[in-house]
Amino acid sequence: MARDFKRTDRVGEQIQRDLATLIQREIKDPRLGMITINHVKVAKDLGYAEVYITVMPYGDMDQAQVTKDSLSVLKQAAGFLRTELARGIKLRVMPQLRFHYDESIERGRHLHSLIEKARRLEDEADTDQNDEK
């Protein structure tokens, strides 16, 4: 009988929960934006964990710059975060953390705006045809 979740999925979910708490409470760098950890994908051998994040800029800051700065801060703090995770999660090997910006949210927004634009154009074309009749 197959299991519902693979071990790497369970480890990834635990890393995601603990990492979110650690980043919020332990990292006090002012360059760090408001970060959301979307997904953690752990390799089968637990050698590394790909951490996908999104960053919300605050104030009048530029999205691209905040994302770049936040990734830089997280990459510098990866060793510290890995050590703290190892204290809370009992694994023989704690995966190395690799941080990436998750572009799927931005792609979703873009596709949504294209769909809405097409829908508006279609509605306008329908009203123009009804007006001609």
Q: Contact, 47 vs 93, CB < 8 A?
A: yes
**C-alpha–C-alpha distance, residues 54 and 10, integer Å:** 21
What are the structural domain ranges in the chain?
Answer: 7-102, 104-133
pLDDT, position 19: 94
**C-alpha–C-alpha distance, residues 115 and 94, integer Å:** 43
Residue 93: name the closest of 56, 35, 49 by CA: 49
pLDDT, position 129: 74
Contacts of 104 (CB under 8 A, 6+ apart): 38
pLDDT, position 1: 46
Q: What is the CATH number of domain 7-102?
A: 3.30.300.20
pLDDT, mean of each 10-residue run, the chain (133 residues)? 74 93 89 89 92 86 87 93 91 92 85 91 79 66
Residue 33: name the closest of 90, 112, 101 by CA: 101
